[in-house]
Each structure stands twice: as C-alpha cells, then as structure tokens.
Amino acid sequence: MNSTAETPAAWAEQTAMEQPKDAVLARRCVQQTEVDSASRCWNRSGQANQGYPYIKVKGKRPAVRLLISQIEHRRLNPDSPYPSDMFVRATCNNQRCINPAHLYLKSQHDCGVDDLLPYVPEAKPKPHVEVIKVQKIMQRVTTLKQRFEAQWKKEGEHERWIGGRSHNAPILRRGKYKAAALDPIQMRYEGKVRPLGADEVLIHLCEHKDCAAVAHLKIVKKSEKARARAEIKFLRNKTRDPNGCETFTGKKRASEQQLVNIGSGRHMTARRFAYEIEHGRDAIPEGHVVRTHCGCENCVNPAHLYTAPKGDVARENVQKRESRRSEHATATM
C-alpha cells in the first residue's frame, strides 16, 4: 500500500478529497494516532483487541489496519473487490501501527506458516497493569504476614501455633486450597535461623508438633529424619533407676533385649542404640556387640556399656553355661 501521506491527518485529508465516501471513516481511523519519528510508525492508542486497535463500525469491531487497508484498496483498485482471504500485516511488526506504508496483504496460508515461527511482539510493557498486579500481590503478602504473626502463643518454653491445622499438622492457608498451604513452623524457623536446604527437614525436640521455639527444633537431613526422631524419642523415654542404671521399655525380642524402632521398618537393640547415640554411628566395630558391665541385662546407660567381639561373648557364654552346669552337677552329687 503506497500512500504518499506523511502524517495520519494528511492521509485522512487526502482520502477525504479523493474518496468522499471514505472521509468520515478515514478521519475516525487516524484519531488518537501519533507518529514515531524514528520508525515512522503511526501508533494508534485506545481500544485494542489482542493488541490491535479497533473502532466500532455498524455494531462490529474491525481492526483499524483492516479499515485502512480497505480504504487504500478502494483508492488503488476501484474496480476490484477487496480480497477477503488475505490478512493485513505490518512490515514493522508493530501491532499498534496503522501507517498504510507499513501495511501489506498476506494470504492466510502464508500467515499460517509465518505464525509457526516464534513471534516476537514489539516490547510494549503495560506499566499500569504491572503496577496493579504488584500492588495486589503485596497486599496479599501483607495480609498473609499479619495473619501469620497473629497466630502464635507463648506457653512456657514453647511457642505454639494456634492457627489452622490439617490432619493435626499446623498449616497456613494461602487461598482456599489445601495445596497452597504453607508450613508455619518451618516459615517461623527459617525467618529466625536460616532457610532449609532441599534435602533438609525440621524435627521437634519437644513433644509439641506445633511448637516453633528455635531451641526445640533441629535441622536434619531428610534421609536421617526417622533415625533422628527415634533418638529423641529414645532419650525422652528412658528411665533412670536409683542404682544408676537406665532402662528403656520398647519391643522385646526373644533374647530379652529391648528393641528400638529406628524407622523404615528397621529395629536395633536398645543397648546398641544407646551406645551409638553416645559415641557415634561408627563407634561399634565390625563383629562387636555391646555389653553391660553393671550386670543389668536391660541397662542402656552409656556409662555402663562397652563393646566386645562377638566371638568372645559366645565363648564367655559357653563358659558361663558350663560352670553353671558343673555347679549344678556338684550340687546334686
């Protein structure tokens, strides 16, 4: 489309002179239009559909670039009908541009191929929309924060969550969906101490699952969670006898030694577990067992425990049994 007009107003006036029937439409098309001096684009502001400016004509909303293209077509080819199977495109790739010199017709087929290529729209940020979006998000964040801060209650050493719960676990709902819920305990801890790593979780040292007191929480590796919880439970549940021995009541196995559930379906003897808690995971050498020197079979006081090679223990047991048998024999003789 080869219009010689330099400005939208000049184009409208030229159209009005040459095609009086299109005068009103042409003037309406170029309203709210400014010329960009660098690109020579005629940028039309105002109502737009998917970025393309339109005006209302007889109850319809044709794109302004289509109207301009039709007016130009009537000027250049007064005897042929407008090709309705063609799309109006702009060489400048600017959706707002209605400069007839930038507009051209492209067949639907070609447009289809063209549209498969990544479309890079003219960088046109909509500042007011962005600002409103950010304000809305900030508003939501502030109300969430206020709601969060208001739902804690001091209880002695503990700092307990009195907000929402799901299956007895504390949650802070972000919206109406459970999937959008946050863990208030973790949020509180992260705010005070440090953010957790991807493979880390918090475990409670106190018995309240809704407590967020920093001293009552501990960061552990995800893979260590079950074991760490078993340790805490173990230390909390063992009782001290007046003679200094400590006992733990758990599951008993055939040999009368208490078993501790250390998670993932695994168990460990309470004595062994107590020794490992005190001296570390690798403290018991390969092939060794943990024994007590206080003589109390169920004692888990680490001060009363020591390790010995399995073989020695078996030999000792055999010796014990034999001496008992010989005692018995001499007694009955």
Which residues of the chain form contacts with Zn ion (CB under 5 A)? 41, 92, 94, 97, 99, 102, 158, 206, 208, 211, 213, 216, 245, 294, 296, 299, 301, 304
Smallest separation (angstroms) from Zn ion to the CB of 156 = 8
Smallest separation (angstroms) from Zn ion to the CB of 4 = 16
Smallest separation (angstroms) from Zn ion to the CB of 3 = 12
Smallest separation (angstroms) from Zn ion to the CB of 135 = 33
Of 181 and 206, nearer to Zn ion (C-beta) is 206
Q: With contact defined as beta carbons under 8 Å apart, do 250 and 274 qualify?
A: no
CA distance 217 to 203: 6
For 290, the token pair is 């943990």
Of 303 and 318, nearer to Zn ion (C-beta) is 303
Of 74 and 102, nearer to Zn ion (C-beta) is 102
CA distance 251 to 239: 15
CA 310 to chain CA centroid, nearest Å: 50
Q: With contact defined as beta carbons under 8 Å apart, do 89 and 103 qualify?
A: yes
Of 258 and 301, nearer to Zn ion (C-beta) is 301
Smallest separation (angstroms) from Zn ion to the CB of 22 = 21
CA distance 55 to 107: 24
Q: With contact defined as beta carbons under 8 Å apart, do 96 and 43 qualify?
A: yes
CA distance 311 to 279: 22
For 199, the token pair is 């493979």
Of 55 and 90, nearer to Zn ion (C-beta) is 90
Smallest separation (angstroms) from Zn ion to the CB of 322 = 26
Of 94 and 257, nearer to Zn ion (C-beta) is 94
For 161, the token pair is 């969550």
